[in-house]
A and B are shown apart, each in its own frame.
Chain A
Amino acid sequence: MIQCRGLGKDFKHYQKAGGFAGSLRQLVRRDYQLRSAVTNFDLEIERGEMVGLLGPNGAGKTTLMKMFSGIIVPSRGECSVHGHIPFQREQVFRKKIALVMGQKSQLWWDIPAMDSFLLLQKYYEIDDRDFKKRLAELSALLGVERQMQVHVRKLSLGERMKMELMACLLHRPEVLFLDEPTIGLDIVAQRSIRDFIAQYQVQHKTTVILTSHYMADVEALCQRIVLVLGGEKRFDGPIGEFSSILGLEKFVTIAFGEAITSDADTYFQDFDPHWNEARTRVDLRISEADVRRRGMEIFERFPVIEFSMEKLPIERVMNELLVNPHLLKRAVT
C-alpha cells in the first residue's frame, strides 16, 4: 500500500529582476522565494486501488507522484510505497513501480519501439519467455503489433502513448503512476487507452494513481478521488461523494422552441444557468428534492421541447469548487 504523512515539498523560485541594473545586481545575489508545492499531505491507498488525483495546474499532483516514485526528495514528512521509502531508490523498489507521463516520453526517439523494449528487458531483468508473452499480449490489446518496428519519432501521438504504456508494463509493476496519459489524444485514442487501463488493472490488480484533466478519464476509471488544491488535500473519498459536494443536485438541460427573453432570468438565476448564444438552451443545477416541482413549473411557463436530467458531472463540480473553494469545508477528508 501507499502511505504518506505530513508530506511536503518546497521549491525555490528565483526572482529575475528586470532592467539592466537588476541584471547587474543579480550577478552578486539572487533573490528567491520558497514556495510550497505540497503541504502537509496525508494519504493512504490500499493495494489494488485505482485513485484519481484531481486539481488545477500547479496544484501539486505531479510533485506528489514524483515523490511517491522517488524522483524527488520530500522536504518534510514520511512516505512509503509497498514497504519501501521511495527516495532511497532501492533497485528492488524501482522494479515494482512504473511512471507514465503524458508530456514526456521515455522511449528513445531514433530507434524502433521494439529496440527500446529490448533495452528495457535488460534493465528490468525480464526473462525471455515472460518478455515475449507480455509483449504479444500488450501489443495485441493495444492494437500496435504492426508499429513495433517503426521509429518512435514517426509514430502518431496515440501510437506513441500506447508504446509508452507497453514500455512501463513489461515488467509487471505493482504500482503504476499515470500522469495525464491521455493528454493531447483524439477521442478514439483516449477511449482505447482508458479501456486498456481499466482492463489491465482488473486483470493484474495493479495499484494505480492517475492524474488527468479529462474528467472522462477519472469518471471511467476511478472509484476514489483525491482533490489537491494549492498543494493541500481538500477532498478524499468515493467519486459519488465528490459529485454531491455541491449538495444532492441534478444537472438539468432544457431546450426551448423559441428564444427566452431576459425577463425569465429572475426565475432561473438560483439554478446557476448556462445559456447558449441563441438563448434556446440552458443548463441548470437543481437540487434533487426540488427537481420534480421545478420541472413541472418550467414545463408550464416555458415552451419546452426537450428536457433531460442526470447526475452532476464532475467537470461542473470542479469548476464550481475552483471558483468557490469554501464549499470544500463541508467535504469529508
Chain B
Amino acid sequence: MLKTIKRYWGVYTRFLSTCFAAASTYRLHFLLLIIMDQLFYFSMLGSVDFLYNHVSKIGPWNRNEFMFFIAFILAVDHLHMSFVSESFWEFAFDIRTGRLDFVLLRPLNTIFSVFARQIRPATLINFVTPWGFLIYYGRQMQLDLVSWVSLFPMVLFSLVLLTSIEILVSMLMFWTVEAMGINFLRIQVQSLSRWPEFIYRGFANKLFTVGFPILLVGSAPVYFLLDHGRWLWVLAAVGALVVTWGLIGVFWQKGLKAYESASS
C-alpha cells in the first residue's frame, strides 16, 4: 500500500515538473490566466455585493453569510482550476485525436493518468483572492474553532466531490463524437453548484440534491460550517461521493469497451 502511494506520488511530482516546464515557455499565457481568474473572482463577489445593496437577506442568509459561501465556492474553483480543470480538456482532446491510446498503454491507473495529469502553475498564484475573502468573511461571522479547523478539509472535500461528479459526466465522451460539447456540459454543471441549494425550488432542487447531487458540492460543507447542527448534509455529500465512484467504476469499464480509437 505504502509502496503504491510512493509510486503514484513519484509520478505526480513528474506531472508537476513537466507542467511547470511547459508553463514557463508561455509567459504571456501565464499572466493572462492570472488576470482571467481574478476577473472571475471579482465579478462573482461584486455581483452578490451589489445585490445586497438593495436587500438585507437572500433566503436565510445575510450579506456576510452569502459572501462567505461565494468565497468558499471560489476557493474550490481555485483548486479545481489549478489541479484538475486542464485535464478534462486534455481528455476531450485525447479522445478526439486518439491520443488516448497512449494513455491506455501506460502501466498506471488510467483514471489517475487522465484526470491528475495537468496542473496550471499560473492559477496556483491566485489563491490569495479567494482565500483572503474566505478568511475575511469567516472572521466577520466569528466562526468557531471547529469551523476554522475544518475549513480547508471542507474545501478539499468539496473539490473531490465536484471532480468526481465531473469525471462521471466526462464518461459520456466515450459515446459522443464531439467531446468538446461534453466539456461545456460539465461547465454548466459546475455553474449550477456555484449558488446555494436554497435558491433552487421544487423539482429542480430535488433533482440537483438527490438525483444528480451537484448542489451538495458547495452547500453541504457551508451549511455545516455555518451551523454544526446540519452535519447530515455533509454525511449526504459523503454518500453521494461513494455512489458517484461506484458509477464511475461501472461506466469507465463500459466506456473503455466502447472506445474505438480515432483512426490514424
Contacts and interface: CB of A to CB of B under 8 A. Distances in A.
Are A and B in contact, CB atoms below 8 Å, in the complex? Answer: yes
Interface of A: 11, 62, 66, 69-73, 87, 89, 91-92, 94-95, 97-99, 101-104, 106, 108, 110-112, 115-116, 118-120, 122-125, 151, 179-180
Contacts of B11: 119, 122-123
B54 interface: no
Contacts of A72: 259-261
A101 B264 contact: yes
Residue from A72, A108, A124 with most neighbouring chain B CB atoms (10 Å)? A72
Contacts of A119: 11, 14-15, 18
A71 B25 contact: no
22 contacts: A70-B104, A71-B104, A71-B105, A71-B261, A73-B256, A73-B259, A91-B107, A91-B108, A92-B107, A94-B106, A101-B101, A102-B264, A104-B98, A104-B101, A104-B264, A106-B99, A110-B25, A112-B21, A119-B15, A123-B11, A124-B106, A179-B264
B191 interface: no
Interface residues of B, number: 30
B101 A111 contact: no
B261 A66 contact: yes
A35 to B, nearest CB: 12
Contacts of B43: none
Contacts, number: 85
- Which 3 pairs of residues, A with B, have the shortest CB-CB distance? A103-B264, A94-B107, A106-B102
A66 B102 CA distance: 11
A92 B107 CA distance: 7
Contacts of A87: 257
B162 to A, nearest CB: 27
A179 B98 CA distance: 14
Contacts of A125: 7, 107
Contacts of B10: 122
Contact of A111 (B22, B102, B106, B257): B22
B97 interface: yes
B173 to A, nearest CB: 16
* Residue among A69, A94, A97, A118 with the highest chain B CB neighbour number at 10 A: A94
Given A101-B101, A110-B21, A118-B17, 17 more contacts: A72-B259, A87-B257, A91-B108, A94-B106, A95-B107, A97-B105, A99-B102, A102-B264, A106-B102, A108-B22, A110-B26, A112-B21, A115-B17, A118-B14, A122-B11, A123-B113, A125-B107
B53 interface: no
Interface in B206-264: 256-257, 259-261, 263-264
A115 B107 CA distance: 18
